[in-house]
Structure 1
């Protein structure tokens, strides 16, 4: 007969934790022992499970399923946007500066007839799409649902959505820590800054209708 207990510890990155039964006994839980179709548990979830011998002969939970999910903390987009002391103001400023610089370069290139108006419209449209993807990814992260893939975020940013992507990273305080993701974002931003600067200065040209 399956046992019942509360998940009292959980390492989401490592995929392991401990479930505690009514008698106060803790059993090791590994993500590989979740029943088919189960999502990652969260601390506070009531789990049903069987007990078997695990590593070193110690009892561990198997066939783990979430019987009663712990309530999600009530968070709104206002909470997401609220500045955090853990976020560097300097880094946030760089994102704002880069997005503003690209916007000004687009306006300069269009204003001097060195770039077509549709180019600005493309940046605006794709920027809005990128911002929405970051928003959805942040909300999905908070609710524990499937995330927007990092590849998709980068592809949309590369395809003229970088201004909206940088703005969304700042507003939602999202995707600003992981080194590889941050490095790729700045590489895309640098590529667009160089390209727009070349257009604005007349070093390259785009055929106008």
Structure 2
């Protein structure tokens, strides 16, 4: 490893120059060469480093450390990512869709918000019997109405009127 003193440092740009102790020409130092340093460098620091020659013949410091500073992750200036209006709208839409989907398929005993969005005030439950496969509809107040769950993926439906249910091939539940 080589040793030298940092004689120039442009913190806003993340680079500077080291004056080697052996009297050679100044060596370029980039902040990325100081991985693991406990702080950002400042003019006057003693720097230990390896030399690397680039393809274009320029020499720079690599695997550098600041003398007397405990190694740990280098503090960085964090940039705040600004989201545009489109990203915000998409994000809100995704969250709303997840919330509605969750409510639709949760074990609820009343019509879900999705049902009321797609068919406002439609409270007749069109259920398919697990045992017989018969299509029956339940009116509010009937014995099994509260315990009847509608699974749209299985072909079960919500109806606004009894005549709509009957016209679609459903019959009134016995209780």
Higher helix residue share: 1
Instruction: Confirm or deny a common fold (TM above 0.5).
Output: no
For CA contacts below 8 A with separation 6 or more, give which structure has more relative contact order.
1
- Taking structure 1 as the reference length, the TM-score comes to 0.31
Which is richer in strand? 2
State the TM-score, normalized to the length of structure 2. Answer: 0.37
